[in-house]
């Protein structure tokens, strides 16, 4: 490009006709000479063994003959004609030539390629190998001595990125040992008088490419460019944790402006990474590649703000050719499978997750970025592209960075040639252990996968929550017919679909509910079921396949001969796969199937209510308990008033009472009754109801047995502490019947007391009046005694501990009320008053529940109010 610039600069065109030249020469105070003669020699276009026939009849054999003829035609050629014919160095004639035909510009390119073809002896028209470098020395000295001659020679630079470890140029560029010898001799000849020009810097490369490929920006376009640059830098500043720190600096904004519409990250990858390839030329290679990329993007009307690495259309055959022509052939299948193309993994993922990844083509942009940053340097000490630079090469302002993070994760999970080490990513021509894992995953049968899911469910079942038992993946015959609550986790072979009847899960649940093995099941109200979602089951099965594959690879590291990196990767993948399976099990087993009877008829058909488990970190059993309790399908506790309501509603009374053992079975048997955790819940409710002071109006009484012969309840208890016994005789008694028996017993006890008193205390007939005789005194009577005051009323109030209300009320009933209520004719009235302050207010559910309970318990007055 330097030679091209010089060639046009001294073409005779006005400075104003050459972009940037007018400004340059004005700044430096220069003027362009007129009438400059130019000579251009490109060593790859000239044969040393074949003379060149010119239009004017002159035959040119040597490099010096070619230079002379281009500077002055036939007349100039005559000055070196003899040396050209004999292939000898023209010496001082060159200085005379330059002075006569100056000012002149001489450009020589690919001289090494020309010189290395010469032989040691002078058997070629162009002369010998040694003569070539004698001429080189004479040429440089003549150019220096002449006042109006500029000689420009391009040779491979010793600081070129295409160099051997010892600092020399590569064999590809120089052409073997003879090429290296030619290079060294030419450098020695020119080095005496040279003024070296450095290759274009990356920033200068930006400008070269931009000027060659794009028209100059108008004022309006320049403003748009500045707006875009500012938007990118602001976005990088807002997402500081996601992008490299240098992107937030003002200097980076200037780089974006210089490279516009190409993102500096793409230029950096090309100049820093791709330029290390022997066949890739820094400026020319970048220019050729970007011309192809820009043409492809222009044809598809690409609307990106800048051309980022993620926007390079690698699937375009022309672009792919430019990228792969510098790389080994093994890269073609890598691109086809893991980078870009109609059958590539990134495209498949973008289609699979069209609503998130596909909307931004996130996977393709990520894979392109990683490819552009890793393909040319597969053996670098610090391999790959770090995650922040991957995002830098993909994301534009306004896009969610997290979407591209998800794309990176999905690509590394499923990529065949994509490697990851910490936060660095790279492609390689060697398949990763991902390919081995995929192959193994596909080899597992459905039975293998189901067995692993069942194994994990059995481990999950160790956490029971409030269920008394959890049965994971067990058949009807393995689930006991018991009164205690149990959760049945159906196996993966019984999926459920929402709002569909007669699913595999419902059929299996119905079979278990109906029978235990070959026998009918009695206690249906003790079971609820958890079933897997049919759609999510596929995701779980795939996660299990991946875990089993990675687990087997980790177990066989030695036999597979994995290197340390692959071993570390396999361990990481196994851990990730295990975490994925653990997360997907609760996502999959999300349906609670609850058998219910809508009416009170036990012969009515069973209906299945489906409930979706909520998210959370708890076990399946604990999440099921929360949902069932909220929906009142499970009662870890039951109020005595609710129990009385159920006794009266169905009714559950067998006459005036119900045996306790029968009542326990009823609650475990009938689906229209509340589903209790276990028998203890019912007993606690019964005990609370019996011990209540208001039992006669609100609950029930207890008796040790019922004597049918006397129609009396033996060991009748109510209004105080009681020790419950569940056997074939103990019964729960209707409150009104118990109250009547207690009144009858109290009346009989009072009558018996009165009779006993009359038999032991002699008195005169109280109806005869007068005074009783005075013992021992004839004819005298005792004077009347004054009437005694009678204490016929009692009152009392006491504060109770709200947290121990039942205990304290029971003691008051036993130690106070029971003494008073035993008096014949006593009228006992006990009133419970409550005042509750709620600093945070009452929720709608609390108001609804308390109001309903107060109504059921027949409160005289109640209500919530504002303070």
Give 694-722 pLDDT, tens digit per residue: 898 999 999 999 999 999 999 999 988 88
Q: Report the pLDDT value the prediction gives residue 159, as an integer from 0 to 100.
A: 39
* Residues sharing a CB contact under 8 Å with residue 193, sequence separation 6 or more, in sequence order: 140, 141, 143, 144
Cα-Cα-Cα-Cα dihedral of 342, 344, 345, 350, to 10°?
-30
Spatial separation of the C-alpha atoms in residues 701 and 335, rounded to whole Å: 83
Lowest mean pLDDT among 119-128, 361-370, 383-392, 426-435: 119-128
Higher pLDDT, 156 or 39: 39
Q: Report the pLDDT value the prediction gives residue 110, as an integer from 0 to 100.
A: 87
Cβ-count burial of 746 within 10 angstroms (0-12 exposed, 13-18 middle, 19+ buried)? middle
Q: Where are the alpha helices (DSSP H) in 344-400?
A: 345-352, 359-360, 362-374, 387-392
Euclidean distance between the first and final Cα of the chain, in Å? 88
Average of pLDDT values for 183-189? Answer: 80
DSSP structural state of residue 479: S
**753, two tokens:** 């007391």
- Going by pLDDT thresholds of 50, 70 and 90, the confidence category of residue 11 is confident
Query: What order do you get walking across the sheet with 418-421 strand by strand?
Result: 385-386, 424-427, 418-421
CA atoms within 13 A of residue 299's CA, in its CB half-sphere = 10
Cα–chain-centroid distance for residue 738? 65
Query: What order do you get walking across the sheet with 104-109 strand by strand?
Result: 37-42, 104-109, 149-153
Beta bridge partners of 40: 107
pLDDT surpassing 50 at residue 245: yes
Residue pair 126/61 in contact by the 8 Å Cβ criterion:
yes
Cβ-count burial of 141 within 10 angstroms (0-12 exposed, 13-18 middle, 19+ buried)? middle
Residue pair 608/595 in contact by the 8 Å Cβ criterion:
yes
CA of 666: how far to CAs of 485, 538, 613, in Å?
Answer: 14, 41, 28
Between vectors from CA 555 to CA 554 and to CA 560, what angle results, nearest 5°?
Answer: 75
CA of 170: how far to CAs of 178, 205, 516, 812, in Å?
Answer: 13, 22, 83, 105
CA of 220: how far to CAs of 224, 227, 768, in Å?
Answer: 6, 11, 133
Higher pLDDT, 766 or 520: 520
Lowest mean pLDDT among 9-13, 625-629, 670-674, 822-826: 822-826
Spatial separation of the C-alpha atoms in residues 232 and 700, rounded to whole Å: 77
Spatial separation of the C-alpha atoms in residues 835 and 837, rounded to whole Å: 7
Q: Report the pLDDT value the prediction gives residue 174, as an integer from 0 to 100.
A: 55
Spatial separation of the C-alpha atoms in residues 399 and 357, rounded to whole Å: 11
Q: Which residues of 318-327 are buried (b: 16+ CB within 10 A; e: fewer)?
A: ebbebbbebb
pLDDT surpassing 90 at residue 208: no
Residue pair 379/371 in contact by the 8 Å Cβ criterion:
no
Cα–chain-centroid distance for residue 172? 47
Q: Report the pLDDT value the prediction gives residue 759, as an integer from 0 to 100.
A: 67
Spatial separation of the C-alpha atoms in residues 775 and 785, rounded to whole Å: 16
Q: Report the pLDDT value the prediction gives residue 283, as an integer from 0 to 100.
A: 77
- Going by pLDDT thresholds of 50, 70 and 90, the confidence category of residue 762 is low
**695, two tokens:** 């039992």
Strands, DSSP E only, in 607-755?
607-612, 657-659, 700-703, 705-707, 712-714, 731-734
Q: Report the pLDDT value the prediction gives residue 164, as an integer from 0 to 100.
A: 43
Spatial separation of the C-alpha atoms in residues 94 and 134, rounded to whole Å: 13
Average of pLDDT values for 95-115? Answer: 90
Q: Is 354 helix (H, G, I), strand (E, B) or coil?
A: helix
Q: Report the pLDDT value the prediction gives residue 352, as an integer from 0 to 100.
A: 94
Q: Report the pLDDT value the prediction gives residue 120, as an integer from 0 to 100.
A: 79
pLDDT surpassing 60 at residue 786: no
Asked if omega into 465 is within 30° of 0 (cis), the reply is no
**Report field, pTM of the whole predicted structure over 0.75:** no
Spatial separation of the C-alpha atoms in residues 412 and 419, rounded to whole Å: 7
Q: Report the pLDDT value the prediction gives residue 200, as an integer from 0 to 100.
A: 67
pLDDT surpassing 80 at residue 572: yes
* Residues sharing a CB contact under 8 Å with residue 702, sequence separation 6 or more, in sequence order: 686, 690, 716, 717, 718, 722, 724, 730, 731, 732, 733
CA of 215: how far to CAs of 230, 615, 733, in Å?
Answer: 22, 57, 101
Residue pair 118/12 in contact by the 8 Å Cβ criterion:
no
Residue pair 376/327 in contact by the 8 Å Cβ criterion:
yes
Residue pair 259/206 in contact by the 8 Å Cβ criterion:
yes
In tens, the pLDDT along 663-685 reads: 999 999 999 999 999 999 999 99
Average of pLDDT values for 165-185? Answer: 62
Query: What order do you get walking across the sheet with 527-531 strand by strand?
Result: 469-472, 486-489, 527-531, 591-596, 607-612
Render 109-159 in DSSP notation, one character per residue: ESHHHHHTT--SSS-STT--HHHHHHHHHHHHHHHHHSTTEEEEE----TT
Length of the chain: 867
Q: CA torsion sign, 788 to 793 to 799 to 801?
A: positive
pLDDT surpassing 60 at residue 783: no
Between vectors from CA 482 to CA 478 and to CA 486, what angle results, nearest 5°?
Answer: 70
Residue pair 660/723 in contact by the 8 Å Cβ criterion:
no
pLDDT surpassing 90 at residue 579: yes
Q: Report the pLDDT value the prediction gives residue 864, as an integer from 0 to 100.
A: 87
pLDDT surpassing 70 at residue 196: no
Spatial separation of the C-alpha atoms in residues 430 and 647, rounded to whole Å: 75
Q: Report the pLDDT value the prediction gives residue 866, as an integer from 0 to 100.
A: 82
- Going by pLDDT thresholds of 50, 70 and 90, the confidence category of residue 195 is low
DSSP structural state of residue 247: G
With a pLDDT cut of 90, the percent of the chain lying above it is: 50
Spatial separation of the C-alpha atoms in residues 592 and 590, rounded to whole Å: 7
In tens, the pLDDT along 503-559 reads: 999 999 999 999 998 899 999 999 999 999 999 999 999 999 999 999 999 999 888
Q: Is 316 helix (H, G, I), strand (E, B) or coil?
A: coil
pLDDT surpassing 70 at residue 194: no
CA of 29: how far to CAs of 2, 11, 426, in Å?
Answer: 21, 20, 51
pLDDT surpassing 90 at residue 842: no
Q: Is 272 helix (H, G, I), strand (E, B) or coil?
A: helix
Q: CA torsion sign, 102 to 108 to 112 to 114?
A: negative
What is the enclosing helix (H) or strand (E) of 421?
Answer: strand 418-421
Spatial separation of the C-alpha atoms in residues 421 and 247, rounded to whole Å: 24
The mean pLDDT of the chain is 86
């Amino acid at each position: 490009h330097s030679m091209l610039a010089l060639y046009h600069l001294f073409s005779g065109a006005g400075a104003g006709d050459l972009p940037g030249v007018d400004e340059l020469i004005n700044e430096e105070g220069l003027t362009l000479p007129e009438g400059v003669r130019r000579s251009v020699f490109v060593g790859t276009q000239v044969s040393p063994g074949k003379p060149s026939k010119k239009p004017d009849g002159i035959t040119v054999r040597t490099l010096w003959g070619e230079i002379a003829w281009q500077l002055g035609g036939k007349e100039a050629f005559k000055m070196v004609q003899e040396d050209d014919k004999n292939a000898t160095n023209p010496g001082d004639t060159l200085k005379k030539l330059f002075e006569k035909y100056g000012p002149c510009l001489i450009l020589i390119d690919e001289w090494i390629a020309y010189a290395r073809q010469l032989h040691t002896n002078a058997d070629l028209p162009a002369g010998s190998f040694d003569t070539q470098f004698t001429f080189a020395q004479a040429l440089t000295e003549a150019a220096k001595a002449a006042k109006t001659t500029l000689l420009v020679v391009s040779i491979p630079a010793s600081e070129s990125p295409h160099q051997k470890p010892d600092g020399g140029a590569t064999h590809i560029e120089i052409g073997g040992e003879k090429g290296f010898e030619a290079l060294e001799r030419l450098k020695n000849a020119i080095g005496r008088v040279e003024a070296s020009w450095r290759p274009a810097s990356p920033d200068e490369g930006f400008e070269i490419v931009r000027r060659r490929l794009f028209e100059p920006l108008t004022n309006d376009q320049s403003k748009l460019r500045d707006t875009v640059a500012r938007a990118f830098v602001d976005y990088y500043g807002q997402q500081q944790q996601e992008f490299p720190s240098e992107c937030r600096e003002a200097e980076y904004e200037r780089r974006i402006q210089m490279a516009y519409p190409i993102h500096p990250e793409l230029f950096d990858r090309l100049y820093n990474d791709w330029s290390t390839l022997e066949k890739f030329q820094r400026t020319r290679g970048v220019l050729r590649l970007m011309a192809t990329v820009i043409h492809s993007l222009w044809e598809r009307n690409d609307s990106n703000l800048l051309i980022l690495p993620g926007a390079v259309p690698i699937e375009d055959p022309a672009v792919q050719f430019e990228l792969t022509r510098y790389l080994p052939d093994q890269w073609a299948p890598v691109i086809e499978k893991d980078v870009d193309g109609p059958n590539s993994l990134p495209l498949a993922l973008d289609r699979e997750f069209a609503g998130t990844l596909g909307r931004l083509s996130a996977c393709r942009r990520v894979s392109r970025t990683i490819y552009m940053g890793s393909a040319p340097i597969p053996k670098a000490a610090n391999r790959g592209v770090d995650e922040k630079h991957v995002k830098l090469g993909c994301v534009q302002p306004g896009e969610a960075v997290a979407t591209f993070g998800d794309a990176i994760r999905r690509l590394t999970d499923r990529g065949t040639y994509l490697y990851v080490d910490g936060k660095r990513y790279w492609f390689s021509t060697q398949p990763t252990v991902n390919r081995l894992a995929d192959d193994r995953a596909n080899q597992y049968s459905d039975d293998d996968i189901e067995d692993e899911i069942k194994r994990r469910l059995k481990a999950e079942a160790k956490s029971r929550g409030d269920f008394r038992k959890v049965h994971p993946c067990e058949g009807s015959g393995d689930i006991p017919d018991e009164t205690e609550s149990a959760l049945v986790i159906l196996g993966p072979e019984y999926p459920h679909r929402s709002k569909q009847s007669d699913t595999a899960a419902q059929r299996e649940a119905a079979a278990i509910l109906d029978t235990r093995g070959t026998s009918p099941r009695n206690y249906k109200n003790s079971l609820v079921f958890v079933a897997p979602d049919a759609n999510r089951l596929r995701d779980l099965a795939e996660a299990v396949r991946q875990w089993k594959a990675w687990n087997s690879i980790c177990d066989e590291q030695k036999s597979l001969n994995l290197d340390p990196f692959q071993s570390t990767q396999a361990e990481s993948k196994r851990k990730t796969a295990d975490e994925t399976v653990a997360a997907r099990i609760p996502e999959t087993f999300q349906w609670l199937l609850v058998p219910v009877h809508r009416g009170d008829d036990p012969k009515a058909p069973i209906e299945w209510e489906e409930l979706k488990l909520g998210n959370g970190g708890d076990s399946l059993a604990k999440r099921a308990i929360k949902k069932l309790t909220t929906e009142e399908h499970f009662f870890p506790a039951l109020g005595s008033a609710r129990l009385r309501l159920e006794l009266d509603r169905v009714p559950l009374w067998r006459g005036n009472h119900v045996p306790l053992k029968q009542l326990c079975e009823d609650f475990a048997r009938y689906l229209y009754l509340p589903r209790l955790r276990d028998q203890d819940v019912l007993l606690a409710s019964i005990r609370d109801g019996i011990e209540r002071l208001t039992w006669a109006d609100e609950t029930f009484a207890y008796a040790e047995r019922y004597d049918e012969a006397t129609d009396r309840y033996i060991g009748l208890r109510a209004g105080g502490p009681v020790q419950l016994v569940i056997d074939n005789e103990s019964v729960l008694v209707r409150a009104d019947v118990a109250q009547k028996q207690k009144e009858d017993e109290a009346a009989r006890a009072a009558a018996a007391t009165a009779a006993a008193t009359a038999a032991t205390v002699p008195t005169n007939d109280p109806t005869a009046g007068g005074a009783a005789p005075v013992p021992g005194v004839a004819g005298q009577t005792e004077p009347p005694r004054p009437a005694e005051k009678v204490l016929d009323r009692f009152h009392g109030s006491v504060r109770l501990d709200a947290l121990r209300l039942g205990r304290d009320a029971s003691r008051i009933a036993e130690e106070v009320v029971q003494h008073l209520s035993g008096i014949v004719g006593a009228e006992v009235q006990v009133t419970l008053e409550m005042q509750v302050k709620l600093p945070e207010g009452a929720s709608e559910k609390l108001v609804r529940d308390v109001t309903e309970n107060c109504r059921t318990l027949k409160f005289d007055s109640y209500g919530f109010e504002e303070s």
